[in-house]
Amino acid sequence: MGSPANRNFISNAGFVVTDDGVVVVDALGSPALARELLLEIKRITPQPVRYVIATHYHADHIYGLQTFSEAGAKVLAHSSAREYLNSDTAQKRLDASRIELAPWVNAQTHLVQADQWLEAKETPLHVGGFDFVIAHVGPAHTPEDVVVYVRQIGVLFAGDLFFKGRIPFVGQADSRLWIQSLNRLMDYQPKFVVPGHGPASTDPMSDMTLTRDYLLHLRKTMGVAAKNLEPFEDAYVKADWSRFESLPLFRVANRMNAYNTYLLMEQQVEP
């Protein structure tokens, strides 16, 4: 979980160096972290950062956007994020973060609009001999979810569609659509995947299957309970969590994930 101790460094970002500039995917959870990422890039290449692609607008991925924007990078994101970004919810989340994550998120931290709002299911981006495919795979984890596939090197930046080796945060997401999106990610057959959280995956099909199986398990157990009008507490206690209970974030997220899925399945199960 984000805290002042870890400077809200709880998510991943990545970058690709080309002969015509650098493409960054996600911006980390505070301006200070983004400045450190810029320094790491400068240690590797003198090329400027030309683009920053926001996979989605959750706080731990976008509070560093202002740093890249100030450095001259163009911010790309899917247009579905605009509703959240312009909402009271986003502003209240920032206000709370300024207190909970101070001094790393503070009064100077602000929300950043994209310079280009993407509309298409797939947007090609060609930079310095590399072909990037920015694919809108939401609504899933969020309405605006995009992933970035780099054809020449077989690398997929998956955002929060994929949490490697840990329990994902489901929140209010529609897990049915999330599962469909994971299947779409598998169609790329990437060699490597950079997840939104957790270490990079060198065995993407197996690792993504774990996330998909967790979501399927939530839907199966909570779906049966909702259909049978079984109280959530009873359903949660008797569900078999053994495959997942040793994973990081299980104690923090699983009960909340299960409850939100129970509420969702009340709306989706057939009578």
At 124-163, the pLDDT tens digits run: 999 999 999 999 999 999 999 999 999 999 999 999 999 9
Q: How many helices (H) and strands (E) does the chain have?
A: 9, 10
Domains and CATH numbers, the chain: 14-153 (3.60.15.30)
Torsion of CA 52, 55, 60, 65, to 10 degrees: 20
Instruction: Judge whether residue 165 has pLDDT over 90.
Output: no
First to last CA, the chain: 38
How far apart are alpha carbons 184 and 189 in whole angstroms? 10
Mean pLDDT, rounded, of the chain: 95
How far apart are alpha carbons 125 and 207 in whole angstroms? 27
3 state SS of 235: helix
Strand order, beta sheet including 74-78: 14-18, 21-25, 49-53, 74-78, 116-118
Q: What is the pTM of this model?
A: 0.92
Is 190 exposed, middle or buried (CB count within 10 Å of its CB: 0-12, 13-18, 19+)? Answer: buried
Task: pLDDT band for 271, please (50, 70, 90 cuts).
Answer: low
Q: Over the stretch 248-259, which tens digit does the pLDDT of each residue have?
A: 889 999 999 999
Residue 4 has a pLDDT of 94
Question: 118 and 134 in contact (C-beta within 8 Å)?
Answer: yes
Least Cα distance to 178 among 159, 192, 191, 193 occurs for 159
CB neighbour list of residue 166: distance below 8 Å, 6 or more residues apart: 197, 198, 247, 248, 249
Task: pLDDT band for 269, please (50, 70, 90 cuts).
Answer: low
CB burial readout 132-152, b (16+ within 10 A) else e: bbbbbbbebbbbbbbbbbbee
Share of the chain above pLDDT 70, in %: 99
Question: 10 and 60 in contact (C-beta within 8 Å)?
Answer: yes
Residue 249 has a pLDDT of 87
CB neighbour list of residue 72: distance below 8 Å, 6 or more residues apart: 48, 49
40-44, 46-50, 154-158, 183-187: lowest mean pLDDT where?
Answer: 183-187
Residue 229 has a pLDDT of 94
Q: Over the stretch 74-133, which tens digit does the pLDDT of each residue have?
A: 999 999 999 999 999 999 999 999 999 999 999 999 999 999 999 999 999 999 999 999
Q: Which two tokens stand for residue 30?
A: 């505070």
